[in-house]
Amino acid sequence: MAARADGVEGGIVSRLEGTMLCDLPSKQVPVTVEASTAPKEAYAILLKANVQSAPVYDSAQKKYVGTLDLRDLVPAIVKKGDSDDADGNAGPELLDRILKVSAEMRGLPSDALPLLINPGGFRSVSEEGSLDDATRQLMHKGCYRVSVLNSAGDAINVISQSTVISWLQQHVGEFQKIGSQTVAAAGCGTSPVLAVKDSDPILTAFALIAENDITGVAVINDDGLLVSAVAASDLKALLCEASSVCSLSTVEFLTKVRQDGLGADQVAVRSTDTLAHVITKLASTKAHRVYVVENGKATSVISLTDLLRHIYTNPDFADW
């Protein structure tokens, strides 16, 4: 392993390989859903725990069989919203109505809806593994959380993409190359940017997120300028609010449920910013993506997945 002049050994990937999962501070107790749980109770577990998704464990098979994700309810939420009577129901009542619509869309009786398990969504690593092992799993499309299993096969921790970004932010000063490389030089963003207008119904934003299996979309005004962003995590707020929020515009919804403001500056970076700045912004805002803005317009988007893949495919970051 190469050593830098300041005595720090190895590049980013090498350091991730040397960071063992068992040594990470403050373990996060994972939320798990039993496969036999009724849908309404299962989704209520996610909402109560304030998580978007969770692994599903089948006690009969004695193994994890997939994941449960709130985004799978989006088609039913959109259909319900199209015919919403805005009666103001919230919480369990709203969730119950959405599940009934979901059953109807599948031609099933309202009490016969199965748990909507994504069998390919569950990924895991051993507690004896490294942060590198988890990160390589997190670079797969649609994988945002990895369960850490002990020798008995029980989930004892969760490593998310945000966990890795937080680690990078804590150590970013040790890596000179990532501190100096600009967004433009990295070229790790993707385009075109998926966006909704601030006047569009909020359901349009969630439908776009679900259809493209992404973590968020940009919000622009009539002039095409970036004004905010909708994240998949905002879906939890929609399900916990009165059903009338389904009829709100995107900006009205964000104003109602966001406590951290709507400003584009929270999700925007410039092409001249360094990757260190991008990492710091992602870690501080807990966002899953930032938008590269030129003259107020979002020209590309950098997701956590994009950033991790760039680090792993760029030989400059693997070793010094």
pLDDT in tens, 7-62: 334 588 889 999 999 988 766 678 999 999 999 999 999 999 988 899 999 999 99
So what's the pLDDT on residue 93? 76
Q: How far apart are CA 121 and CA 146, in angstroms?
A: 10
Compute CA distances 114 → 36, 58, 100, 103, whole Å. 9, 14, 11, 9
Report for 48-52, 74-78, 91-95, 195-199: range of highest mean pLDDT = 195-199
* Amino acid in the structure at residue 268: A
- Give the pLDDT score at 318: 60
Q: Which of 107-111, 203-207, 307-311 has the lowest mean pLDDT?
A: 107-111
> Whole-angstrom Cα distance, residue 197 to residue 60?
47
pTM of the complete model? 0.87
Q: pLDDT value at position 173?
A: 84
pLDDT category, 261, cuts 50, 70, 90?
Answer: low
- pLDDT tens for 161-195 read 999 999 999 988 888 777 789 999 999 889 999 99
> What is the C-alpha separation between 15 and 141, in angstroms, rounded?
24
Angle at 122 between CA 116 and CA 51, to 5 degrees: 70
pLDDT in the model for residue 103 = 92
Q: Work out the average pLDDT over 83-108.
A: 75
Residue 91 confidence class, pLDDT cut points 50, 70, 90: low
Assess whether pLDDT exceeds 90 at residue 76: no
Q: What percent of the chain has pLDDT over 70?
A: 89
Whether the pLDDT of residue 267 is over 80: the answer is yes
pLDDT of residue 293: 97
Query: Distance between CA atoms of 144 and 137, rounded to whole angstroms?
Result: 9
How far apart CA 277 and CA 265 sit, in angstroms, is 13
User: Which residues fall within 8 angstroms of residue 300, CB to CB, at 6 or more apart?
Assistant: 189, 190, 191, 193, 291, 292
Cis peptide before 39, with omega less than 30 degrees from 0? no
pLDDT of residue 175: 82
pLDDT at 84: 55
Give residue 178's pLDDT: 79
d(CA 199, CA 160): 32
Residue of 160, 133, 128 whose CA lies nearest to 31? 160
Cα-to-chain-centroid distance, residue 299: 21
Q: What is the mean pLDDT of residues 73-80?
A: 84
